[in-house]
Amino acid sequence: MRVREMHPLCCITLETPEIGDQSPEPTLLRTGSAVVYSGSDINAGGSDVGGVAGILYKWTNYHKGWRSRWFTLRNGILSYSKNRRPDHLDGDDIKLIGKLPDSNPSRRKHGKSVGIVHLKVSSFRESRSDSRRFYIFTATKSLHLRTHSKKERAAWIEALIATRNLFQLRPLNDNLNLLQNDVSISTERLKNRLLEEGIGEGLVQDCEKIMLSEFSEIKGQLKSLCEERSNLLDTLRQLEAANIEGEASGVHDGEFQLMKQFSSLGRGKYSEYSTTESSDDIEKQELDEASDEEEANYLDANECFSEHQTSGGSVVGDNMKNNTIDASAQAQVVRRTKLPDPVEKEKGVSLWAMIKDNVGKDLTRVCLPVYFNEPISSLQKCFEDLEYSYLLDRAYEHGKSGNSLLRILNVAAFAVSGYASTEGRNCKPFNPLLGETYEADFPEKGIRFFSEKVSHHPTLIACHCEGRGWKFWADSNLKSKFWGRSIQVDPVGTLTLEFDDGEIFQWSKVTTSIYNLILGKIYCDHHGTMHIRGNRQYSCKLKYKEPSIIERNPHQVHGFVEDISGKKVATLFGKWNESMYYINGEWTSKPKDSSILSLLWTRNNPPPNLTRYNLSSFAITLNELTPGLKEMLPPTDSRLRPDQRHLENGEYDKANAEKLRLETRQRMSRKLQENGWKPRWFQREGEDGTFRYMGGYWEARETATWDGCPNIFGEIDQDLLNSFEGS
C-alpha cells in the first residue's frame, strides 16, 4: 500500500510570547496586484503574533460548486467567512496571500465567521491531481480548498507548515503555562479606598480575606479546566495519529471502524486516505453554515480507494484465505466508480402536486414522472441485498467447521446489511416490465445472480443467486400506501438461503416508511420484527425499532439467537445503516463495556462521487454495461431499458418520453398475462407456492441463444396494440 505524505498540524497556544519574539517577521513579494508569500521567507518557527489571510475557494455542494471565502490563519486557528473583502486587516500582523478582494462597497458583507478549524487536532495534504487544490481534515469535518495559482497554494502550505513547526518547538502539555507561575492579586488599592470611606480596619481585613478566598477558588477551577482541556486535546491528537497509523499499516476498514467506536468518537473520522463523509456527518459539521447549503463535499477520484480495497470490512482477508477467486476474471472486470455526468440540467418537480390526489392508494399504480426515479430497476435493487455476500461465505465456512452459532449470526448480519444502502435513497426504482430480466456475474465476489419479473398483477419479482457453498432465492411483492406526509411499504414474500450441507434459513423483510414528503428533509426508516427460521439448531429474532420523537439513537436493531429449547444463546446489537455486533448470552441492553462485543458487519464507505440518488459504490455498478457485455445480454435485460439509460445519462426529456412509451406497453401486460403468459426462467412450485429458478439461463448466455425472449423495450407492434384496445 502506498502511503502518502501527511502534514500533521500541531498545537498553538496563546501563552508563548517568548517564541513569537524569536521569530522574524514574514515578508511578502508583490507581483502586480497580487501579494504572495515567498516560501523561503516563512521561517520554520512561525509566529503566534502574526497570521495570514486571503481568498480561497471552498467546495460547497454540487448545486453551488466552488464559492469564494475569506480565510484567516492566526494563533493556530483557521477561520473563514463569506465576506468578500474585510473592512480591516487587524494591523500589520496579518499578511495577504493572493490578490486583494474586490473593493466595491456594495458587495461587502458582514465579516462574521461561518467556520472555524482548530489546527491542533487537524491534518492537511495537497492534491496530487490539481496543483491548486489542498485539503484540511479534522476529526469531524474536511475542507476542500482551491487557490488561484500553484504559487498561492505553496504559500498557504508554507504557512500551515510554519504553524506545525512552531508547535514542534514546545512540549505537548504546555497548556498550563499561564498557571505554572504563582498568580497573585493586590488588595492595596481596595484597602486604601475602604479606609478613606472611614470603614474600620477589622472590617477591611475581613473583606480582604473574603476576596482572596474567592480568587483562590476561581484559580482552582481555572486550573482544573485547563487540565481537562489539555487532556482532551492530547487524546484527540493521539487518536488522529492512530488514525493515520491505522491506515498506513494496512488495518482493515472493519477493524478500524471498531477501534474508533471503542474510543467513543463514532464514525466519520478522517485519516490520510479516508476523505469521504456521510450525509449525516456533513449536516453535523455544517450546522453553523446552514445558509451556505454546504451539504456535500468534493473529492478527488484519483486519490480514493477503489471499492474492492475497503469492501467486506475486517473479514475480507479471511474470505480470501478460505475461498479461491478466479484471479484472471477479477483482473478483467473493472467496475465504474461514478455515474456519467448529466447531459441536461435537472428540472424541479413538486412531488405533492403529483400525488396529492392519491392519498391512501397503492403507489405502484400511480404514474410519476421519471424525475422521481433512480437509474436502477427493482430487479437490480434485489441484487443490492447481496452487496455483503462475504457474510454468507463466512457463514458457510463456520458451519462447515461445526460452529453453527457463528453461522446464524453471520446470516442475521447479512439480513440486516441489505438495508444499509437505503439510507438517503429517496427516489424509487423503475418498475420492471413483464418479462424483464437482470443478470449479475461478479466473479470477484464469487456470486452469480439472476432475476425476472414473473407477474404483473400482482407484481412479483423472482430472483436466484449462487455463491460459494450456498444458494439464495426469493420472490417478492411490495404493497405501498401513501398517507399524506409519509409512504409505507410492506414487503410480501419469503427469502430463502440454503447451504450446500442442507441447512436452510428463511425470513421476510420488515416494513419501510418514508417520511417528510411535504415538509422537511425526506428520510426512510425500517421497523418491525424479522424472524430468521432455521431447520436445525438455531433461529433468530431481530427487532427493528420504530422511530419516535424522543428517540435520540435511531436505526437501532436488537435481537437474540435461540436454540431449539428457546434458550437465548447470543444477543445482537447494532444499526442497520452502520454495523452489527454480537455477545454470547442474553442481554436486554447494550453493555457499557464495548470491548466485549464482537463485530459481525460494518457498512462500506460511501462513494467518492456523490449524486442526488445517493447510490452506494456497489449500486453504481449495477446498471453498467462493461465492455463486451451488451452483445451477451438477452433483449429483456434491465440495462437495455431506454428510459432508465437516459436517466442515468442525465437526458431527462428523453427519459420521460421513453417512460411514457413503455408505460403504454406496460398497460398491455395484464391482458397478456390473462391470455396465458408464463415466465421464461422461473416456475411456481404448486398453485400458490414460491417461484423457483428452472435453470438454463447461463447455458443460453454462453451461446447467446435467446429464443422466447421478446424485445420488450422495442416499438409497440401496431396490430398488438389494436387487438389490445379492441378487447
Closest CA to 61 of 302, 291, 342: 291
pLDDT band, very low/low/confident/very high, at 25 (cuts 50, 70, 90): very low
pLDDT above 80 for 348: no
Beta strands 94-99 and 51-61 are parallel
Using left for φ > 0, alpha for ψ between -120 and 50, and beta otherwise, residue 206 falls in alpha
The pLDDT tens digits for 491-534 are 888 999 999 999 999 999 999 988 887 777 888 899 999 999 99
Q: How far apart are CA 37 and CA 541, in angstroms?
A: 64
3-state helix, strand and coil shares in percent for the chain, rounded to the nearest 5: 35, 25, 40
Residue 228: other Cβ atoms inside 10 A:
11
Q: Which three cell numbers stand for residue 497?
A: 438461503
Q: How far apart are CA 134 and CA 132, in angstroms?
A: 7
The pLDDT tens digits for 576-623 are 999 999 999 999 888 888 889 999 999 998 888 777 889 999 999 999
Q: Which three cell numbers stand for residue 400?
A: 462447515
- Can you tell me which residue has the cell 431527462? 652
pLDDT above 80 for 181: no
Q: How far apart are CA 368 and CA 361, in angstroms?
A: 14
Q: Which helix (H) or strand (E) holds 329?
A: helix 327-332
Give the residue-averaged pLDDT of 92-121: 65
Q: What is the DSSP string of 24-89?
A: PPP-EEEETTEEEE-GGGS-TT--SS-EEEEEEEEEEETTTEEEEEEEEEETTEEEEES-SS-S--
Q: 223-232, 418-427, 530-539: lowest mean pLDDT where?
A: 223-232
Amino acid residing at 677: W
CB-count burial class (<10 Å; 0-12, 13-18, 19+) for 643: buried
pLDDT at 99: 74
- Can you tell me which residue has the cell 440486516? 416
pLDDT above 50 for 290: no
pLDDT at 86: 55
Asked whether the beta carbons of 574 and 580 are under 8 A apart, the reply is yes
pLDDT above 90 for 388: yes
Distance of CA 189 to the CA centre of its chain: 62
pTM assigned to the model: 0.56
pLDDT above 80 for 182: no
Q: How far is CA 191 from CA 69, 183, 186, 202, 216, in A?
A: 53, 20, 10, 11, 18
Q: Which three cell numbers stand for residue 320?
A: 480470501
pLDDT at 238: 57
Q: How far is CA 313 from CA 207, 325, 622, 716, in A?
A: 66, 18, 21, 47
584, 574, 609, 447: CA torsion to nearest 10: 50
pLDDT above 70 for 203: yes
pLDDT above 70 for 269: no
Q: How far is CA 338 from CA 219, 334, 474, 606, 724, in A?
A: 57, 12, 29, 12, 41
pLDDT above 80 for 285: no
CATH 2.30.29.30 fits 51-99+113-168, yes or no: yes
Q: How far apart are CA 255 and CA 200, in angstroms?
A: 72
Q: What is the DSSP letter of 180?
A: H
Using left for φ > 0, alpha for ψ between -120 and 50, and beta otherwise, residue 676 falls in left
Q: How far apart are CA 135 and CA 121, in angstroms?
A: 14
pLDDT band, very low/low/confident/very high, at 226 (cuts 50, 70, 90): confident
Asked whether the beta carbons of 348 and 404 are under 8 A apart, the reply is no
- Can you tell me which residue has the cell 437509474? 375
Share of the chain above pLDDT 90, in %: 32
Give the residue-averaged pLDDT of 17-40: 37
Give the residue-averaged pLDDT of 161-190: 62
Closest CA to 273 of 243, 230, 314, 238: 243
Span between the terminal Cα atoms of the chain, in Å? 66
pLDDT above 70 for 349: no
Q: How far apart are CA 554 and CA 695, in angstroms?
A: 42
pLDDT above 60 for 88: no
Asked whether the beta carbons of 643 and 658 are under 8 A apart, the reply is yes
pLDDT at 695: 93
pLDDT at 398: 96
SS3 assignment, position 427: coil
Give the residue-averaged pLDDT of 134-163: 85
CB-count burial class (<10 Å; 0-12, 13-18, 19+) for 34: middle
Q: How far apart are CA 50 and CA 187, in angstroms?
A: 36
Amino acid residing at 254: G
Amino acid residing at 176: L
Q: According to the per-residue pLDDT averaged within each range, which of 6-10, 100-104, 241-245, 532-536 is highest? A: 532-536
Give the residue-averaged pLDDT of 153-181: 65
Asked whether the beta carbons of 203 and 195 are under 8 A apart, the reply is no
- Can you tell me which residue has the cell 453498467? 624
Q: How far apart are CA 207 and CA 202, in angstroms?
A: 9
Beta strands 447-455 and 579-584 are unpaired
pLDDT band, very low/low/confident/very high, at 234 (cuts 50, 70, 90): low
Average of per-residue pLDDT values in the chain: 74
User: In terms of pLDDT, which residue wins out, 147 or 331?
Assistant: 147
Q: Which helix (H) or strand (E) holds 97?
A: strand 94-99
Amino acid residing at 264: S
CB within 8 Å of 547: residues ≥ 6 apart? 515, 525, 527, 554
The domain ranges of the chain are 51-99+113-168, 185-231, 376-506+605-722
pLDDT above 60 for 418: yes
Q: How far apart are CA 349 and CA 355, in angstroms?
A: 12
Q: How far apart are CA 218 and CA 537, in angstroms?
A: 65
397, 401, 403, 409: CA torsion to nearest 10: 0
Asked whether the beta carbons of 431 and 459 are under 8 A apart, the reply is yes
pLDDT at 50: 66
Closest CA to 51 of 159, 157, 168, 170: 159
Give the residue-averaged pLDDT of 309-315: 37
Asked whether the beta carbons of 262 and 599 are under 8 A apart, the reply is no
Share of the chain above pLDDT 70, in %: 67
Residue 334: other Cβ atoms inside 10 A:
11
Q: How far apart are CA 376 and CA 613, in angstroms?
A: 10
pLDDT above 50 for 244: no
